[in-house]
């Protein structure tokens, strides 16, 4: 990324005002805002692909990850000319569709990027995401749990891509053919959740109340609604390790990595080696599963 000149940088013909480049956003990892902007530029080809044409919510940490934070849905003002927006239910969202927009948001200390589960102006889900949410801060069984879910999906004839949440959990993404409804996706999710929970009752739960989960991992199949968001693949997270939500291979999952193994300081080298793992799995049909499940 070009070096800063008089408080601004030129990116793709756009001038972006930048400030406080020596501000430590992740103190433990030594990541300043300057380093963060450089790493965002590395992540851009991957993160933009996952957020493009979706409603975007960001989480901003102006004082760094240990300071106060807030969720940003409405586009912040003043808005540069190169930033495009989309309105949904009275909220004017930023559309993350370019490197200048991404770096402008990075300068505002937007650390986490959470896109909607549907495209702008559409009402149907654009992908299926299974969220495995630990009930404890450090869960050594999370990759084991993900592997069981992956095996279940495989038995249904579905390819999937696991990814670290960047925090404590794991999400499993199933690229799907467009046309399925949110209600249908939740029905399939409930079927898979019930299966793995009955097979591994000490590991999984579908109990919604956290106080009733014990130390079991919550299989969240209920999050698929219009307007809901989830941490994007390739988004940084506000964790001490400066972790990044990172797609993995199933072989990697079986080696039991930690989410903190993938972070801003090594993600660029990894992506040069692996490419976008999410692009290597084609969209798949869920019609046959729905036919049997809903007796259509």
Per-residue pLDDT at 2: 46
Please give the sequence-ordered ranges of beta strands (E in DSSP) within the chain, or none if there are none: 8-11, 14-17, 24-26, 31-32, 54-60, 70-72, 84-88, 91-95, 110-119, 128-133, 161-164, 170-174, 204-205, 217-220
225 — pLDDT class (breaks 50, 70, 90): confident
**With contact defined as beta carbons under 8 Å apart, do 267 and 197 qualify?**
no
Considering the chain, what is the average pLDDT of its residues? 94
Q: What is the mean pLDDT of residues 161-166?
A: 95
Position of tokens 């299966």?
195
* Cα–Cα nearest to 25, from 69, 71, 61: 61
Determine the Cα–Cα distance for residues 129 and 146; give it in Å rounded to an integer. Answer: 12
| Rg for the chain, CA atoms, rounded | 19
Per-residue pLDDT at 292: 86
Per-residue pLDDT at 6: 46
Q: Is residue 74 helix, strand or coil?
A: coil
Q: What is the mean pLDDT of residues 201-211?
A: 92
Per-residue pLDDT at 3: 44
Is the sign of the CA dihedral 267, 251, 238, 236 positive or negative? positive
Ordered structural domains, the chain, with CATH: 6-119 (3.90.920.10), 128-227+241-262+275-294 (3.30.70.3300)
Q: Is residue 212 helix, strand or coil?
A: helix
pLDDT digits (tens, 9 = 90+) for 43-74: 999 999 999 999 999 999 999 999 999 999 99
Determine the Cα–Cα distance for residues 139 and 152; give it in Å rounded to an integer. Answer: 21
Q: What is the mean pLDDT of residues 259-279?
A: 97
pLDDT digits (tens, 9 = 90+) for 60-111: 999 999 999 999 999 999 999 999 999 999 999 999 999 999 999 999 999 9
Pairing of strands 24-26, 31-32: antiparallel
Rounded to whole angstroms, what are the CA distances from 271 to 53, 134, 146, 246, 274? 23, 27, 22, 9, 5
Residues 6+ apart with CB under 8 A from 261: none
Position of tokens 């009402």?
123
pLDDT digits (tens, 9 = 90+) for 168-180: 899 999 999 999 9
229 vs 149: which has the higher pLDDT: 149
């Amino acid at each position: 990324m070009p070096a800063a000149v008089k408080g601004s940088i030129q990116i793709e013909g756009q001038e972006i005002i930048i400030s406080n480049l020596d501000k430590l956003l992740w103190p433990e990892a030594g990541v300043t805002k300057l380093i963060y902007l450089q790493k965002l530029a590395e992540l851009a080809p991957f993160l933009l692909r996952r957020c493009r044409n979706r409603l975007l919510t960001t989480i901003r940490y102006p004082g760094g990850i240990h300071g106060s934070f807030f969720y940003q849905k409405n586009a912040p003002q003043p808005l540069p000319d190169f930033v495009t927006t989309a309105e949904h239910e009275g909220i004017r969202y930023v559309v993350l569709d370019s490197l200048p927009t991404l770096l402008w948001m990075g300068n505002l200390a937007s650390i986490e990027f959470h896109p909607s589960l549907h495209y702008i102006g559409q009402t149907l889900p654009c992908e299926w995401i299974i969220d495995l949410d630990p009930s404890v801060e450090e869960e050594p069984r999370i990759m084991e749990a993900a592997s069981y879910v992956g095996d279940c999906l495989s038995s249904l004839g579905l390819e999937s891509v696991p990814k670290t949440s960047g925090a404590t959990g794991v999400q499993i993404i199933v690229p799907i053919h467009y046309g399925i409804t949110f209600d249908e996706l939740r029905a399939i999710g409930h079927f898979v959740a019930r299966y793995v929970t009955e097979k591994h009752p000490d590991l999984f739960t579908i109990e919604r109340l956290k106080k009733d989960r014990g130390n079991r991992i919550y299989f969240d199949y209920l999050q698929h609604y219009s307007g809901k968001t989830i941490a994007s693949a390739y988004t940084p997270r506000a964790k001490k390790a400066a972790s990044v939500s990172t797609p993995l291979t199933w072989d990697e999952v079986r080696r039991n990595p930690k989410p903190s193994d993938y972070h801003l300081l090594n993600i660029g080298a990894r992506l040069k080696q692996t490419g976008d793992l999410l692009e290597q799995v084609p969209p798949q049909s869920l019609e046959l599963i729905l036919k049997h499940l809903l007796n259509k």
